[in-house]
Amino acid sequence: MDKLLITGGERLNGEVPISGAKNAALPILCAGLLTGGDVHLTNLPLLKDVATMEKLLNQMGLRMQVSGDAVTLNGSQINCLEAPYDLVKTMRASILALGPLLARFGEAKVSLPGGCAIGARPVDQHIKGLQAMGAEIHIEAGYIHARAKKLKGTRIVTDMITVTGTENLLMAATLAEGETILENAACEPEVVDLANLLVAMGAQITGIGSSRMTIQGVDSLHGAEHHIISDRIEAVTFLCAVAACGGDVTIKNTRVDIMDVALDKLREAGAIVISETDSIRIQMSSRPKAVSFRTTEYPGFPTDMQAQFMAMNCIAQGTSHVTETIFENRFMHVQELNRLGALIEIEGHTAIVRGVDKLIAAPVMATDLRASASLVIAALAAQGQTLIDRIYHLDRGYDRMEIKLGALGAQIQRVS
């Protein structure tokens, strides 16, 4: 099993390109199931979850021609309507095959994802929405069995804002009969990116980017070309690393307009942040100042950036309060950060982080994707050599992270 060996204390300098967004790429790959035409995608990130999704869709008969960060999907020969447990258990986003399969083929069998490290994460809202559209769904032996001769448009109000839930229902609604209104829809940029692709494929959607999307179902969708949106979470991970270690870094191929909250927090922490249309330069010459925040849905502070900012807060001047409202168990990095000398206490949904002068290297263990990123940031800022175990979590969602950090001057090495 691979580990990362990091010798902390180096300032970071240079330029780093940001890859396509994992959380846009995963639903977008599933959108390939909706048509028999060619869907050409560019800016596909090279990471484990994308490979897992490709494997799953391949098993269903979706053909793929990959060339670097480009892929052409063709769904004219789908011959299996099942997402098996052995793949779904490794990647919850497999649930995103449910809506497209059901809408186009009238049938789907998808394993229930089960709980995961950051929380219970049920998929009841996906099921509720599809049932409202007329699907017959029963759960048996850990599988969701769904059938519908033709889904019917309706008004769906989800109990809470759910990102993949919105994406699943949106894809299903594109081929339903009549009008579907999705209320309480997620407004995340990755949902917008998927919706834009669907429109390019011939879907009729209004209200994209708002909490109320209206979809007029069409008989069929066609092929399209699409450039996947840049990964705002990866971008912020690098920005937090610079804020924690000091340095002068420009991140390229990014989208400044979807990161307002994070950029404001970095400025509050004392960084100089200069943004151009598709690049952001960050300069940090002093110890960061502690910043408090509360995670919430877009356009609020993303839960996927919580751990990275917490790592920066560990060595900041002052005390911060970090409140997690999306997932009930997303503080697993706290104990590991404390092993590096951080002073963090958890009270309910809030972590109280008392900034320390320095972190000291120690062996630590990654527990989930963004927790791994926070350990990398803390290790880069710590004195001495830190060994991070179980980095397969990191590989699920980051595209060649150690290579990108190494190019910025970080002492980081993958060891087996």
CA dist., res. 163 & res. 152, Å (int): 22
Interface with ligand EPU includes 165 (CB under 6 A)?
yes
Query: Helix crossing, 22-31 with 232-245: angle to 10°?
Result: 170
Total of chain residues touching ligand EPU, rule CB under 6 A = 24
Q: Which residue, 203 or 307, has its beta carbon nearer to ligand EPU?
A: 307
Are 414 and 390 in contact by the 8 Å Cβ rule? The answer is no
What amino acid occupies position 30? C
> DSSP letter string over 248-281?
EEEEES--GGG-HHHHHHHHHTT-EEEE-SS-EE
To ligand EPU, the closest distance from the beta carbon of 388 in angstroms equals 17
Are 4 and 404 in contact by the 8 Å Cβ rule? The answer is no
- The three-class DSSP label of residue 226 is strand
Name the one range near ligand EPU by CB under 6 A: 72-80, 114-122, 223-231, 348-356: 114-122
User: Cis peptide leading into 299, omega within 30 of 0?
Assistant: yes
Interface with ligand EPU includes 18 (CB under 6 A)?
no
Interface with ligand EPU includes 326 (CB under 6 A)?
yes
Interface with ligand EPU includes 160 (CB under 6 A)?
yes
Interface with ligand EPU includes 126 (CB under 6 A)?
yes
Interface with ligand EPU includes 304 (CB under 6 A)?
yes
Residues 234, 235, 236, 237: is their CA dihedral positive or negative? positive
Sequence-ordered list of residues with C-beta below 8 angstroms from that of 380, at least 6 positions apart, any chain = 6, 8, 10, 12, 241, 244, 245, 405, 410, 412
User: Other CB atoms closer than 10 Å to residue 85's CB: what's the count?
Assistant: 17
Name the one range near ligand EPU by CB under 6 A: 122-130, 132-140, 244-252, 355-363: 122-130
Interface with ligand EPU includes 125 (CB under 6 A)?
yes
Sole binder of ligand EPU in the list 230, 303, 313, 386 (CB under 6 A): 303
Are 118 and 368 in contact by the 8 Å Cβ rule? The answer is yes
Are 368 and 359 in contact by the 8 Å Cβ rule? The answer is no
Query: Which of the residues 80, 116, 187, 240 is marked catalytic?
Result: 116
Are 189 and 216 in contact by the 8 Å Cβ rule? The answer is no
**Gyration radius of the chain's alpha carbons:** 21
Strand partners of residue 26: none
Interface with ligand EPU includes 99 (CB under 6 A)?
no
- The answer to whether 187 is a known catalytic residue is no
Sole binder of ligand EPU in the list 104, 226, 287, 370 (CB under 6 A): 370
Q: Which residue, 84 or 119, has its beta carbon nearer to ligand EPU?
A: 119
The conformational region for residue 99 under phi > 0 = left, psi -120 to 50 = alpha, else beta, is alpha
Interface with ligand EPU includes 327 (CB under 6 A)?
yes
CA dist., res. 298 & res. 392, Å (int): 27
Q: Which residue, 52 or 164, has its beta carbon nearer to ligand EPU?
A: 164
Interface with ligand EPU includes 124 (CB under 6 A)?
yes
Sole binder of ligand EPU in the list 3, 4, 18, 23 (CB under 6 A): 23
Q: Which residue, 10 or 49, has its beta carbon nearer to ligand EPU?
A: 49
Interface with ligand EPU includes 191 (CB under 6 A)?
no
Q: Binding marks (x or -) toward ligand EPU, 25..64, rule CB under 6 A?
A: -x--------------------------------------
Q: Which residues are catalytic?
A: 116
Q: Name the site residues for ligand EPU (rule: CB under 6 A).
A: 23, 26, 92-93, 119-126, 160, 162-165, 303-304, 326-327, 369-370, 397
